[in-house]
Amino acid sequence: MKTILVTGGAGYIGSHVVKMLGEAGYEVIVYDDLSTGHEWAVLSGRMVRGNINDTVKLQELLQQYNIDAVIHFAAHIIVPESVGNPLKYYLNNVMGTLNLLNVLKQCKIDKFIFSSTAAVYGIPSIIPVAEETPLSPINPYGRGKAMIEQVLSDLSFSNEIDYVTLRYFNVAGADPAGRIGEGKPDATHLITMALRTAAGLCPHLDVFGTDYPTFDGTCIRDYIHVVDLASAHLKALEYLFNGGKSDVFNCGYGKGYSVLEVITAAKEITGNNFQVNYTGRRPGDPPVLIADCEKIGNILSWQPSHNDLHHIIETAWNWEKTRIARYNG
Ligand code: UFG
């Protein structure tokens, strides 16, 4: 049985991957500082509390367990926060990842899956955006992720690591069985904010910008169900274990929805015509991000099975109601 170290495995995306790894028969060690994750979200394996900048703790952990591969989620992920507090992002997402990679090298662990983001593309001139597009991030969050992508490419070139980088588009939805989902009380993403407004936790939903060059003036994003994203990680693991060479893949569906389309769907699903306020643009938002997702299908044989905006919002809504009842908002 293979043992996988999952940094950030108590977080929203990490916890869905941990659950799926457990179901697939992997041994899982979660390493998470619980700054935004939750112990209740870890449904499989062992949970060790620690930060990726803590070299000694990481060394101890890797000496204790025989790790076959690492999936690295631990990161700060909020684009506007990265604009206001870039050092927070560089210290954790860049320095912490370099520290992790250095400890992995010392312990001779050379299979690595990295959570990257569509934010590395900045404002792409060709939509859908393909992996070979030159990276041109427009915010510190995206820049930090692009830096690590470069580091991984260099490490692979010097035969120190085999990696898969997955560039996530807009991740949403929740475990259809309703056991886990987005748990951050201060989440900022559109679908979560819309559902929390519908649930009465927020007085209204802000729409950030109505003057973008899109059909209805609001930003367009490619929303991918978190369970489909989780299965991409398992495909990437199998690929590396089968000797696949280091590579980068977009994770999306290749179809975009505007902010207003998402709001309309959220109102339909929740049955709540919640209040929407139209405000100015949010710094760091590209107008349109849609994945060219052919490569991941061709090379990793990844096939989505939750590709439906209504299903994404429905599973997120079921989870949100559970979360509020269980954790009191
Ligand atoms: N939005 C609103 N109101 C809100 C929240 C968001 O109008 O309350 C808008 C944003 O301005 C943006 C769109 O909804 O136009 C999506 O915003 P999110 O905050 O949900 O997500 P982002 O697109 O900013 O970022 C997410 C991830 C990034 C990733 C990006 C890829 O956080 O890591 O998707 O598309 F890079």
Q: For 230-267, b where at least 16 C-beta lie within 10 A, e where not — what string?
A: bbbbbbbbebbeeebebbbbbbbbbebbbbbbbbebbb
Both tokens assigned to 35 = 């700054």
Given the residues 141, 168, 212, 239, the one annotated as active site: 141
Ligand 1 atom 26: residue of nearest CA:
170
Task: Select from 183, 212, 175, 206 the least CA-distant residue to 193.
Answer: 206
* CATH code matching the domain that covers 3-172+223-251, chosen among 3.20.20.10, 3.40.50.720, 3.40.190.10, 3.30.390.30: 3.40.50.720
Q: Domain coordinates of the chain in residue numbers?
A: 3-172+223-251, 190-221+254-327
pLDDT at 187 over 90: no
Check whether domain 190-221+254-327 has CATH 3.90.25.10, yes or no = yes
Closest-CA residue to 32 (of 14, 54, 55, 8): 8
Q: Measured from the CA of 259, which atom of ligand 1 is nearest?
A: 14
Dump pLDDT digits (tens) for 212-235: 999 999 999 999 999 999 999 999
- Residue 189 CA to ligand 1 center (angstroms) comes to 5
pLDDT score of 329: 64
Nearest to 42 by CA among 89, 96, 83, 6: 6
What pTM value is reported for the model? 0.97
Confidence (pLDDT) at 126:
95
Reported as a single tens digit per residue, the pLDDT across 44-103 is: 999 999 999 999 999 999 999 999 999 999 999 988 899 999 999 999 999 999 999 999
Q: What is the pLDDT of residue 294?
A: 98
Q: Is 89 a catalytic residue?
A: no
Amino acid 285: pLDDT: 87
